[in-house]
Amino acid sequence: MSIKNYKFTISYDGSRYYGWEHQPNTDLTIQGKIENVISRMVGKDVEVLGAGRTDAGVHALAMIAHAHFDTDMSEKEIKEYVNSYLPDDISVTDVSIASDRFHSRYNAIGKTYRYTCYVGENKPIFDRKYVYYLDSVPDVDSMRKAAIYLMGEHDFASFCSNPRMKKSTVRLVDKIDIERNGNYITFTYHGTGFLQHMVRILTGTLLEVGFGKRSVESIPELIELKKRSEAGPTAPAQGLCMIKVDYH
């Protein structure tokens, strides 16, 4: 046996977890649950590194992670073992052997997130963990016009909740699609990477435009101000889902 680098694709319902990353004083993190199972499988501690650090309550359709360990189990056997011990709200959907140098976070070149709002008359009982319930319908056309200003490479400091951010807050967002389909409004974002709470703050700001609380034309100035306090609220966690991570 020799140590190999395994790549995992993971789906999870983040409702009851404190996010992806280890947190002090709790074992209710996605990373922690997966590490515990794999460490038990191979008989030693294994670190599982993810492509992103989804916040408490945020979901993922296809989080990518990697881990180095040695085992004589096949990828199919690893997947079956891990899923048999993971809780029902976390699932490994694929296991493959990656190159030794593959890193799920550093090698990622793009990410897609989707934020879902519900605008139906009745409360979304069965979707309530996965949507933001709005009590009126925002103007989708206005939000689309505002989103055009947000696309491209900008300093997104106004949309970052970490005031002590030492690294660059410049990011490239090359797609923001806003669609209404029946009782649902979805915001789909694609970019090279996103700052802490950035997708949720973008969504909260666009909803302010949709509800007439801020003008479409105010968005360029908001970007220039680079002040979190000037942007909209952080939309609730449960509406957000990581959809896809891109690699070369």
Positions marked catalytic: 55
d(CA 4, CA 14): 29
Categorise residue 152: left if φ over 0, alpha if ψ from -120 to 50, beta otherwise: left
- Radius of gyration of the chain from Cα atoms? 19
CB atoms within 10 A of CB 141: 11
Q: Which helix (H) or strand (E) holds 36?
A: helix 30-42
What are the distances in angstroms from CA 85 to CA 34, 40, 47, 149? 9, 10, 17, 46
Cα dihedral sign, 57-59-63-65: positive
